[in-house]
């Protein structure tokens, strides 16, 4: 059985804890019954011993498996990870969502995606990564009475994501603590209006509005100050014709949307100017988490 889950970029500028979309960059795990518990890791995190011995995926999987099954079984877990850890591409959401989906799938119990999303919410309280990780596409999400309420839309094939991934990780938990405790009414109104306009632009495919609408006053500048080169990455991407360029989640990745015909040029320019960062161009993912038996 194989589970595949996409990376996600949350906030999209002003939509703090609300907006997010899925990118075709995936973690895969294949799980087989086995005589002993064993783990193999390829790709991102492969050199991190903590991921082998104290793996968040296995802890969540076991929580659910023990509740769902009355058998005691051991498994072999084979992870192939393309989502970098703590870079703002939703690696923790990917782990949470795929671990829950795996526990249900290995027991042959069908789980609908809305239920999966609400179970994932217990592990990550902001819904902007878990929603696109489960559903794929562009998502607007909020939480009410412990349930995620969301509206989604497929991302078109005419757009690409160009991501610039620094080699320095940023923990989401710490990056959240670094934000101001209070905001002015002006900043709050600025973000409400821009986030609303950005949502309308995605829903109506008005790509020319993305650049203006993706401005933010709530989190980006506070976080990007920790790595000031990111301002330069953002400026370069926009100057080369990107439709928008924002801090991905809590960073450190800078996420850019381009028309297909501009993506190669933007990627080349970013690679030339920031050779010490990893630059990738990807399609968007409209499937969310998938299970293959």
Ligand X SMILES: N[C@@H](CCOP(=O)(O)O)C(=O)O
Ligand Y SMILES: Nc1ncnc2c1ncn2[C@@H]1O[C@H](COP(=O)(O)OP(=O)(O)O)[C@@H](O)[C@H]1O
Which residues from 178-217 bind ligand Y, rule CB under 6 A? none
- Using rule CB under 6 A, residue 252 touches ligand Y: no
Choose among ligand Y, ligand X, none what residue 17 binds, the Cβ cut-off being 5 to 8 Å by kind.
ligand X
Cα dist from 232 to 13, 245, 248, whole Å: 16, 11, 15
Hey, which bits of 217-273 come out as E strands?
A: 244-247, 254-259
Which DSSP category does 208 fall into?
G
Say if residue 93 carries a ligand binding annotation.
Answer: yes
Ranges of beta strands (E only) in the chain are 2-10, 19-34, 38-43, 74-81, 138-144, 147-153, 159-165, 244-247, 254-259, 278-282, 290-292
Size of site (CB under 6 A) for ligand Y: 19
Chosen from ligand X, ligand Y, none, partner binding at 176 (C-beta under 5 to 8 Å by type): ligand X
174 labelled binding-site residue: no
Which of 4, 5, 13, 17 is the binder for ligand X (CB under 6 A)? 17
For 123, the token pair is 């592990």
| 249 sits near ligand X (criterion: CB under 6 A) | yes
Tell me how far, at minimum, the Cβ of 74 lies from ligand X, in Å.
31
Q: How far is the CB of 27 from ligand Y (least distance, A)?
A: 6
Q: In the complex, which residues of this chain contact ligand X (CB under 6 A)?
A: 10-11, 16-17, 88-90, 92, 126, 128-129, 172, 175-176, 219, 249-250
Task: Give the residue ranges of the annotated binding site for ATP.
Answer: 84-94
Task: Give the residue ranges of the annotated binding site.
Answer: 84-94
């Amino acid at each position: 059985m194989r589970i595949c889950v996409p990376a996600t970029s949350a906030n999209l500028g002003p939509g703090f804890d609300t907006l997010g979309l899925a990118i075709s960059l995936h973690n895969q795990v294949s799980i087989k019954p086995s005589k002993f518990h064993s783990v193999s890791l390829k790709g991102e995190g492969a050199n991190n011993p903590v991921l082998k011995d104290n793996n968040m995926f296995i802890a969540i999987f076991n929580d659910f498996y023990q509740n769902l099954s009355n058998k005691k079984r051991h498994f072999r877990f084979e992870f192939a990870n393309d989502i970098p850890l703590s870079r703002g591409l939703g690696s923790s959401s990917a782990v949470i969502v795929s671990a829950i989906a795996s526990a249900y799938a290995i027991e042959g119990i069908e789980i609908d995606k809305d239920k999966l999303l609400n179970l994932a919410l217990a592990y990550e309280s902001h819904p902007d990564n878990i929603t696109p990780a489960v559903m794929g596409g562009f998502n607007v999400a909020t939480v009410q009475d412990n349930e995620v309420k969301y509206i989604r839309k497929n991302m078109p094939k005419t757009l690409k994501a160009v991501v610039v991934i620094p080699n320095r990780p940023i923990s989401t938990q710490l990056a959240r603590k670094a934000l101001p405790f209070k905001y002015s009414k002006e900043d709050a109104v600025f973000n409400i209006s821009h986030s609303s306009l950005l949502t309308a632009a995605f829903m109506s495919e008005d790509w020319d509005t993305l650049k203006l609408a993706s401005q933010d006053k709530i989190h980006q500048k506070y976080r990007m100050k920790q790595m000031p080169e990111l301002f330069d990455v953002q400026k370069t991407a926009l100057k080369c014709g990107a439709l928008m360029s924002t801090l991905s989640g809590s960073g450190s990745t800078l996420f850019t949307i381009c028309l297909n015909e501009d993506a190669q040029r933007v990627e080349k320019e970013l690679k030339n100017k920031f050779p010490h960062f990893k630059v990738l161009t990807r399609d968007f993912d409209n499937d969310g988490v998938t299970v293959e038996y």
